[in-house]
Structure 1
């Protein structure tokens, strides 16, 4: 019986900025519906992985596959060859991937509801009625059903980040990327955002790839945790196992510093 292709596969992916190598021949797979958290020191390459998947950066070497098909590349003119993907192809493929950033990036002149509706209407081609119905359901999910008419500037940072989560989910992504989504929040607002993301992880079959320094959250939502250092995975394992009994000295040192 054939095995199902992983949601994401990095095949010997390298990312360089000049002489500086951020990712070093990385091999990485994330199964469909799997929740994977990336941990490690700043500059270890974690966020670069998310930026490559969002096509905010291009790979230097190697190939990224999504759902079993080349994502960073496309078939060349000669059979069996690959060439870097065109902007048009990238735009088509990245619709499957949603991302919640450290900064909320909401449109200040639009209401909360309009912020969530905008992309499904103009990118996915949904009717406004359908998009608004979905948006209201998602805003209920993130606990903001009573804020549909508010402007983002009238919301707390935690509420704005919850709107950003609803907006990402409105695009019906198969893969959701989370990049330090609580780092811009005051400490008392962190818990409300993490609670929403726990609900998303438990209540959907979405594939989740997360970068965080919140180890409690990583333990709660992750099937697997990867420890990064200098562009490579130094340790990988089930969340509770890696956090409680790390095998690698670099992992032990990092966890000791963030706890």
Structure 2
């Protein structure tokens, strides 16, 4: 048996291992993202600790998905800084110690620590399920193909698709395709897993299976998770912390019990009243 496909033991985010730098794993510091005159994120400050599961909720257009896209370097900040494990993501330090916009290579190296599952599955239709999962570990991480395939099979077992190794995406349901996409993200051994409305493109009867897989990952691993979702029961189940967004800012933050049971902000109460 190969090494475990995921870390299997929860760790206390407040007590990182001795060889882990202190401080939050992810930090947004006065981050602004604008498109022309339209401000999507407005001097955003928030942090995520190691091993935390943080869910971002709020109305459409409030900036939640933009946060994930910035972390994946699919977008660049307009101002402010994002750090991952204390290392700037959107900027790099020059020889004089000052920050300058990060190069693509610099961001590509940091991005290896982050996995993302999108609304759309984006599987390669010409590849079978196992090939979809092993392509990036082999070509990006430089894993031996045999090791990547063994790990891929372990991950398919994790997401309940061990019998679909040689199937092609067109032979799978939407829920099965999304579970393959989750396995593909985990195959890169990310420290941080980003989930962007991963059930929004699924038929209602397929949603539960995907959410159950994510619940298992949240419960059995110490991977850090940032999730954007309108599935409030799922957010209540898996989150250590819930952030309520409106107009590019965090207007309320707390435990699921606090946010869903006793929200303080009127806008939070309005939003939850509309979606629950």
TM, length-normalised to structure 2: 0.92
Cα offset, 1:208, TM superposition: 0.2
Q: Select 1:87's aligned residue among 104, 124, 127.
A: 104
| Structure 1, 166-175 or 70-79: larger mean CA deviation | 70-79
Extract structure 1 runs of 4+ deviating beyond 3 A. Answer: none
Query: Aligned partners of 1:154, 1:7: CA distance in 2, in Å?
Result: 39
Q: How does 1:107-118 map to 2 (within 5 A)?
A: 107-118=124-135
Match of 1:182 in 2: 199
Unaligned runs of 5+ in 2: 1-14
Cα offset, 1:76, TM superposition: 2.1
Match of 2:56 in 1: 38
Which deviations, in whole Å up to 9, do the C-alpha atoms of 1:9-65 show, x marking residues without a partner?
001000000000000000110000000000000000000000000101000000000
Query: Aligned partners of 1:204, 1:57: CA distance in 2, in Å?
Result: 28
Q: Select 1:63's aligned residue among 74, 81, 85.
A: 81
1:156 aligns with 2:173: yes
What RMSD in Å do the two structures reach over aligned CA positions?
Answer: 1.2
Match of 1:5 in 2: 23
Task: Give the aligned length.
Answer: 258
Structure with the largest fraction of helix: 1
Query: Aligned partners of 2:115, 2:37: CA distance in 1, in Å?
Result: 31
TM, length-normalised to structure 1: 0.98
Q: Select 1:51's aligned residue among 69, 86, 92.
A: 69
Query: Aligned partners of 1:27, 1:197: CA distance in 2, in Å?
Result: 27
1:226 aligns with 2:243: yes
Cα offset, 1:97, TM superposition: 0.2
Match of 1:252 in 2: 269
Q: Select 2:183's aligned residue among 142, 146, 166.
A: 166
